[in-house]
Structure 1
């Protein structure tokens, strides 16, 4: 595969809105400054209130058209989209590097997941069906027949985050289209060009223009869309605070929220310490730690705490930090300088409270040096809040019961990791940890896109994966046939 170009483009990439099947180039624009190169890399159309109203009206008028497409037709489009994602992998990874500072090696991984996600959505479209209900199993049902099928909800709203803007857009639009809906996309202001590129990929694969629109803007655009009764179902990925605002605006409508986390990984005394350290180093700083399941807290049994800490710090210090367009870079820039400063200030605050900063704790513009904080206080921000950055806190624990309790403290519960060879511990942790998912033999930062993903507590509502999302993007419709039975009348 050809390597991405070493130099960024000289002209900003235009990211127009797509409304009523037309790319809109008129009006005002908002610039996106690349966090690593620190100059404008893309320019997004600023959606107006009038355009929001037009898009909603067009979406409502398109509901029957898209819902009438056979599942096989939807699946064929999604399969072509999967193939196109692989063909355009380098191009899309380069856009991620420019707009977000994401290393191209991480970007290529994200686009591979986009291809997988579209393929899984296609498979789920082909599985859509219903049930023959056991209506004659009760006396009052004898002589009747009842059937169900899953019908499209209608208009879906997909609000996507900056940290994985391509793959999470693929999840939401792919599943919504597989279910037969038309979708309004409100992408993150930090990634307008890559979001447009994924939508263009779907159109090139044959998705009808009536099935997808893209409206750029800030919180005001998202708030207007969430509050509008013409939207039937909302899928949002982002911070817990923003998710709460979405839920308030949405009211009683169906809402799926995939929110934040301060993911914990447990390393038991029977673990392969060197392996665990290498995995945690690799998955704690990929995408500069900007993932809701990135390794943030590592709890290590006291007997192996120091060996783990030494091995982990050594691995972290070997990570290559720098230009995200360099294929060898492990850690690029964070999304903004403010985000990088959060890593620096929270590490310093923990150090003032008694923790030890073993490496990092500095930044150059938006690039935060990979930071290791050892033994922070239990109430430090790096423990109880979501750092969403290039920082991992490592703490010792004594008993397994103790560490499960430590992991459960706080308002988040998305995903956890566990390194142990003891199957009984694995089942105990699966049962006792207040999280949506547990990875045994790996860190918290592992996800397969065809498995259910989501959290408990303030980490969200619902599960984000094509099969489970289709449940949210459809409604069950029941047909009762009176005095007509496939079961017999006696």
Structure 2
């Protein structure tokens, strides 16, 4: 299979192609176009030319296009899930769940397209404002550059493309190098749904060729990016006056207080730690357990994690499959070894086979270990204990990241203290930090990024507020 670029509603060949390999089998899936700088400029040209037509398109027409895309994905649910599983090695049952969420995300985008509205301003509330009527309108920004990661190759594309189209913008999309086929598949659905040529362009290639060209071009009015803090900082420093939304990951923590019904919550906690091989920005990485229940917690957690089936992502029963690259496996194992060398206890996992890192659990890692203070993005969790609830909150906050945190407690006062004092973008009381539904505001603080996703909130950041005032006499 040869996958070309998608520019101005057409499949476009380019000079260079690279093999796309299955992370689990190592077999070739496709040959994927590598865009040159000229290809990226052509995509921006196309998006800029289509911008006026998209801005003038009636809201109900944008909504209908988005709804059709949701319907097409639903019709091809199994095909889309298998595509995700093959190129990202996401277990098939998790891939199906991602497809379902993608359908919901575009459905929300369709609904939001119909309710983008401004306000009436009472100008006479201030002296000198008499005899005037004023209102605000929200207008699309224009060309939006969307740069997406590998771990949710359809739904995180939807979180950028959906609100952009809903608001009347045009898009140049750069998907992750390992998962481009899902993005091209989505582009084909938009084309089929009647989206005007040039409103959505997909270009694959290196960050240097594609990303730099998108950041540098003044016609691009906003960059929305999900990925590493290093790249996010680079974008922020080089984007000039463009708007920027950055979702940069985390080392999400969970506090488990005394009195928690461990047997009830354990399956969910294990899912939050190891789903998609831990390659989730809000995957549970750090767990702080009340000291008197810690022994029981560790026993149940290790037992539950040990039941997970590892292997082929296309096997219906698989829970944990291959990580996205061999380099990521090696990095995770080196962090595990360093933590053990510094005194942490390895109680489960640590081994890998065929790029599959087995679910791994460590106890009492030091706060300075990379396993604690960096984002491992792997099926690895460490468990520590606490006696004072407020100290546990402090431990969670002593991180350069702050995306989401979870707290299990039966004490209402503690729950409110956690909600007030945890310095993160989202606090999940009596749930895991890995919880997300696609219409809620989602984003972080500190090095977890800036801005918010969630369709309604993304639309706000993809529109410009304009005031219109009429002097009546």
Q: Normalised by the size of structure 1, how large is the TM-score?
A: 0.95
Deviation per CA, 1:276-318: give whole Å up to 9, x if none.
3221111111100001100100100001101000000000000
Q: Which moved more, 1:72-81 or 1:338-347?
A: 338-347
Residues 1:25 and 2:13 aligned together: yes
Corresponding residue for 1:454? 443
Corresponding residue for 1:107? 95
Corresponding residue for 2:427? 438
Match of 1:191 among 154, 179, 192: 179
The question of whether the paired residues in 2 share the 8 Å contact of 1:226 and 1:250 is answered with yes
Corresponding residue for 1:3? none
Corresponding residue for 2:65? 77
5 Å matches for 1:397-412? 397-412=386-401
Residues 1:146 and 2:134 aligned together: yes
Residues 1:41 and 2:15 aligned together: no
Corresponding residue for 1:473? 462
Match of 1:174 among 158, 162, 167: 162
The question of whether the paired residues in 1 share the 8 Å contact of 2:406 and 2:431 is answered with yes
Residues 1:329 and 2:318 aligned together: yes
5 Å matches for 1:154-233? 154-220=142-208, 221-233=210-222
The question of whether the paired residues in 1 share the 8 Å contact of 2:23 and 2:355 is answered with yes
Corresponding residue for 1:425? 414
Q: Secondary structure at the match of 1:439?
A: strand
- Give the CA deviation at 1:15: 2.3
Which runs of 5 or more residues in structure 2 are unaligned? Answer: none
- Give the CA deviation at 1:483: 2.7
The whole-number CA distance in structure 2 between the counterparts of 1:389 and 1:142 is 62
Match of 1:134 among 105, 108, 122: 122
Residues 1:52 and 2:40 aligned together: yes
Residues 1:347 and 2:336 aligned together: yes
The whole-number CA distance in structure 1 between the counterparts of 2:264 and 2:283 is 17
Corresponding residue for 1:362? 351
Corresponding residue for 2:243? 254
Q: Normalised by the size of structure 2, how large is the TM-score?
A: 0.98
- Give the CA deviation at 1:141: 0.5
The question of whether the paired residues in 2 share the 8 Å contact of 1:14 and 1:193 is answered with no
The question of whether the paired residues in 2 share the 8 Å contact of 1:338 and 1:366 is answered with no
Deviation per CA, 1:389-415: give whole Å up to 9, x if none.
010111111101110000000210000
Q: Secondary structure at the match of 2:466?
A: strand
The whole-number CA distance in structure 1 between the counterparts of 2:260 and 2:243 is 43
Corresponding residue for 1:236? 225
The question of whether the paired residues in 2 share the 8 Å contact of 1:267 and 1:276 is answered with no
The question of whether the paired residues in 2 share the 8 Å contact of 1:78 and 1:174 is answered with yes
The whole-number CA distance in structure 2 between the counterparts of 1:247 and 1:227 is 12
Corresponding residue for 1:487? none
The whole-number CA distance in structure 2 between the counterparts of 1:341 and 1:274 is 33
Q: What is the aligned length?
A: 472
Residues 1:61 and 2:49 aligned together: yes
Match of 1:413 among 379, 386, 402: 402
- Give the CA deviation at 1:187: 0.6
- Give the CA deviation at 1:26: 4.1
- Give the CA deviation at 1:137: 0.7
Corresponding residue for 1:394? 383
The whole-number CA distance in structure 1 between the counterparts of 2:440 and 2:334 is 36
The whole-number CA distance in structure 2 between the counterparts of 1:394 and 1:206 is 51
The structure 1 segments of at least 4 consecutive aligned residues displaced by more than 6 Å after TM superposition are none
Q: CA RMSD in A?
A: 1.1
Deviation per CA, 1:249-289: give whole Å up to 9, x if none.
21221101111100001100111112232211111111000
Corresponding residue for 1:6? none
Corresponding residue for 1:8? none
The whole-number CA distance in structure 2 between the counterparts of 1:353 and 1:442 is 31
